[in-house]
Amino acid sequence: MSASVKSLLSTLTSRGPHRVLRGNLAIAGQPGVVFTPESGRDLPCVAFGHGWLTGVSHYRGTLEHLASWGLVVAAPDTERGPIPSHLGLATDLLTTLDICTGVRLGDGTVRVHPERLALAGHGMGAGAAVIAAAQRPVTTLCALAPAPTAPASETAASALTISALVLSGAADIDSVNCNAIPLTAAWAGPAILRALDGASNNGIVEGRRALAALGVGKYEHKTARTVRALLTGYLLHQLTGDKKYQPFADPEAVIPHTQVIDPNAPQEEEKPKVGIGTVVGLLRR
């Protein structure tokens, strides 16, 4: 199986067969963007939440990648300030799903299946996606380096029986601004926590950001490629039922450059370190 998984992972790091169209959600009253395949009926749809102090433009490569594999991907571009409302972003994610399921997209030939829906996000956007999932039925959820939210996403997770994929950089998985371990532990349904070797939690964020000058949050091309492949394979299996991609939803599958983490395993205690990383982590809420 490992050889097959390695081959699939390699394939999914490249763009898919579909030409991608870009649209503006603001036309329907919700600031944000939507990426779709050029055509298709009964397509799966993913609403994606951005991280703290970022906008959807910093995830364009990832969103386009998913769309190239046949997924409709939409992202609200709100709550971008230093003191965002996590509940507000969760509400906007749900509005985004309503728009995508309620109208024809593209040139009118793109339609979303009302029951093939997923929520996803990065950082605080992942936490907001969890909060949103507690408010309406979706098929699955993907949380990329989830950050703590108010209200706590762990509380919402304890009532969610849907499947979930949680990804985190191995270096930052137990940092103060990542709750991947407690979130997965709290999940009521089947949840997989995978750590990416040599990756940081902000490695998928494209372009320059406010903290780049401090050496924090630089874009990591390798991390982005791996995350895109893992997301694509997992979502294609969960939303379309394609058995070829089943290993991406299997906690027993060995996937190169990743390791499955048991969220209930005892964690090693470390002495607190004071430095720029700690200060940034405390600010990132």
Whole-angstrom distance, CA of residue 285 vs CA of residue 281? 8
Checking if the pLDDT of 277 tops 70, the result is no
151 close to 71: Cβ distance less than 8 angstroms: no
Give the fold, CATH level 3, of 2-283.
Answer: Rossmann fold (3.40.50)
Checking if the pLDDT of 209 tops 60, the result is no
Pairing of strands 72-76, 140-144: unpaired
Question: pLDDT by residue (tens digit) across 132-166?
Answer: 999 999 999 999 999 999 999 999 999 999 999 99
Token readout for 269 is: 């205690």
157 close to 180: Cβ distance less than 8 angstroms: no
Whole-angstrom distance, CA of residue 283 vs CA of residue 82? 9
Question: pLDDT by residue (tens digit) across 210-258?
Answer: 555 545 568 899 999 999 999 999 999 999 999 999 999 999 999 999 9
Token readout for 98 is: 């309503």
**Residue type at position 182:** P
On whether the pTM is more than 0.85, the answer is yes
Domain ranges of the chain: 2-283
